[in-house]
Amino acid sequence: MKKEEKSYPQLNEKFEDVIPKPQTIWFKLWKAKQEIEAVKKNAKNPHFKNNYADINAIIEAVEPVLLKYNLILMQPVKLGHVYTEIIDCETGQIVDSFMKLPDIQDPQKIGSAVTYFRRYTLQSLLSLQAEDDDANTASATIKTQKPTISQDRFEAGLTKVEKGEMTADAFKKALSGYELTELQNKALMLL
């Protein structure tokens, strides 16, 4: 009788690597998403004066990782829709995202729309993060927001105007540095 041989993990293998894993597209995408880094914003939108990651930067960030897990990225235009498809080469499973193209006759405009939709369907499908180079702009917006004034302080000012201790114009000028509620704004209009 032949003795059955047992297979033991090699010393250089991790325990997690020995456990059988499901080989579905979802598992592969889960593994790939752990490796995909934030996409660098490499282009500037002159109209809105902001930076964004163009389609080439996004593909450069995701495609090598997808290929590592035998996943192919395709972005065909089918029946008036721009698709982003990720196809598992081993199972044939597909995950996709798509957007309907607007009815545009100008070839240059339709080309721009296709590129735009490719970028957004890919970002959406993989829930991609972009490197935040607008943090300073966002914090500046917060810093420039006006403080609010409590209703008690507002009413105390109104009382001073009614008693003649302050003019309506002086009160309005003092409040110009505050964000007022709708009710406070209506009260000022009555002065």
- Given a cut of 80, whether residue 56 has pLDDT beyond it is yes
Phi, psi of 130 (to 5 degrees): -110, 150
For residue 167, give both structure tokens.
């003019």
Give residue-wise pLDDT tens across range 83-110: 999 999 999 999 999 999 999 999 999 9
Q: What Rg, from alpha-carbon coordinates, does the chain have?
A: 30
Q: Looking at residues 163-177, what average pLDDT do you find?
A: 88
Residue 159 and residue 152 in contact, taking contact as beta carbons nearer than 8 Å: no
Amino acid 120: pLDDT? 92
Give the number of other CB atoms < 10 A from CB of residue 50. Answer: 13
| pLDDT for 3 beyond 90 | no
Mean predicted lDDT score pLDDT of the chain: 83
Residue 190: predicted pLDDT: 79
Report residue 18 CA to chain centroid gap: 36
- Which pLDDT value is given to residue 134? 45
Total-model pTM: 0.57
Contacts of 146 (CB under 8 A, 6+ apart): 177, 178, 179
Instruction: Give yes or no for residue 135 having a pLDDT over 50.
Output: no
